Amino acid sequence: MNRKRISLRQELPLLVWLVIVWGALWQNFSPGNLLFGALIAVVVARLFYLPPVELGGRFNLLRAVPFALLFVAKVVTASFQVLYLALARGPQVISAVVAVPLRSHSDLLVTATGHVTALIPGSLVVEVDRSTSTLYIHGINVRNADDAARLRKDVRDTEAGLIRIMGTQAELSALNQEAGS
């Protein structure tokens, strides 16, 4: 299999990330361990095909801070909601898997949206259809179509926040046009 060589400059963020993960997994950030992690990262990156992550080229810190605060608030609120459901309703809680078509087809934004969604208690990404950018979310306490629509809206709002933070200019323009109409 012939694949286009990726320059070291393009691959450097991946390699640095792999070394940080290596140190965290071993809970050892000594120079020797990190050097060995760097060697393994280079071998992994050269032997296995890892598609390059296309970055939008922009990051809006002024949008990221409120997004992070809102995320923390959602995690805290959802934690108490799940606690209440577990104590008050127990096994009678109804859940469902809801398909959520996303706006973006960027692997980075689809992945980020899935991770942010999965980190909020009561929701879990069970499937990603990369060809259609659709996340399938298992949501707790989804009893009817209105609850499914609310879950779908929450996930799409998360995606919109991430587009405002780090989406491409085209994605941001499409999002602004959608909001304007």
Dist CA 136 CA 7 (whole Å): 35
Give the pLDDT confidence score for residue 33 in this predicted structure: 94
Residue 181 in 3-state DSSP?
coil
Average pLDDT over residues 173-178: 90
Q: Indicate the domain borders of the chain.
A: 8-47, 61-180
Dist CA 140 CA 163 (whole Å): 26
Contact 146, 135 (CB under 8 A): no
Q: In the predicted model, what is the mean pLDDT of the chain?
A: 89
For the record, the structure tokens of 159 come out as 């995606």
User: What is the pLDDT confidence band of residue 1, given thresholds at 50, 70 and 90?
Assistant: very low
What residue has token string 């879950």?
Answer: 151
Give the pLDDT confidence score for residue 119 in this predicted structure: 94
117: number of Cβ within 10 Å: 21
Average pLDDT over residues 121-128: 96
